[in-house]
Amino acid sequence: MKEQTRIFLSGCNGKMGHVIAEICGTYEDMAIVAGSDKNTEALPFPVYDDPTKCKEEFDVIIDFSHVSALPLVLQLAAKTGKPLIMCTTGLSEEDKSALFATADKSAVFYSGNMSLGVNILISLVQKAASVLYPEFDMEIVEAHHNQKLDAPSGTALMIADAINDTVGGNLEYVYDRHDVRKKRDKKELGLHAIRGGNIIGEHSVIFAGPEEVLTISHSAMTRNVFARGAVAAARFMKGKAPGLYSMENLVGTK
């Protein structure tokens, strides 16, 4: 039997917490030994209302909860020195500053998107942009469910920023062309949002050249992809030294 990675799961009684627990149950080298949640309903492991009260030994912390839980989660990471995989969304700049400061005492893993596939897409897109730009025009198209509030998606902007950094940082993000009567400029990077139905998340990057078109795409079939990425990050982060880590480290592009 493989040596297990013992996980403390913040947000264990939430929807994504249950998904992470289910996924961990399919791996013999992963085990959740304790967790925390405002809902302390019993699970197969101890559940605390305050993560800093944890008495069990663990190797890594996964936080998939609510931003309001962040201060106590950071206290747990600093107190134990154990790596923290931060999956909670909606962090303010102040929250991020506190998170990054914790990396002085504990290893911290943070990514704008926890999907392994999306981060592989970003790596491929950067390679394509470095070769094809400026001869090829680049456009990003994303699609999500009809309840999503922001447009374009945070992931689309994450992809756009990766492309922009790759080609020198001079691209102009264009979100709407309906009221502009002019030819497309070579420095434009178009971002287009589609909203409808129950689309989990689709992102495509189009490289349109004079004789050919290359499209690199990713589709999330379920929201479980984010939980599976968190579990992969937990396995990767076990025993890591203090510092800030990202999906680039995990997928081997940094």
**Pairing relationship of beta strands 201-208 and 137-144 according to DSSP bridges:** antiparallel
**Beta-carbon count within 10 A of 161 CB:** 16
> ∠ at Cα 68 (225, 102), nearest 5°?
80
Radius of gyration of the chain (CA): 20
* Helix extents (H) in the chain: 15-24, 70-80, 93-102, 116-132, 154-166, 224-237, 247-250
Edge-first strand order for the sheet with 172-174 is 172-174, 188-195, 137-144, 201-208, 213-220
Catalytic residues: 144, 148
Contact criterion met (CB below 8 Å) for 130 and 166? yes
Alpha-carbon 206 to chain mean position: 22
Token code pair at residue 158? 């994450």
Classify residue 108 by its DSSP letter: E
Classify residue 111 by its DSSP letter: -
End-to-end Cα, the chain, rounded Å: 31
The span from the CA of 205 to the CA of 122, in Å, is: 9
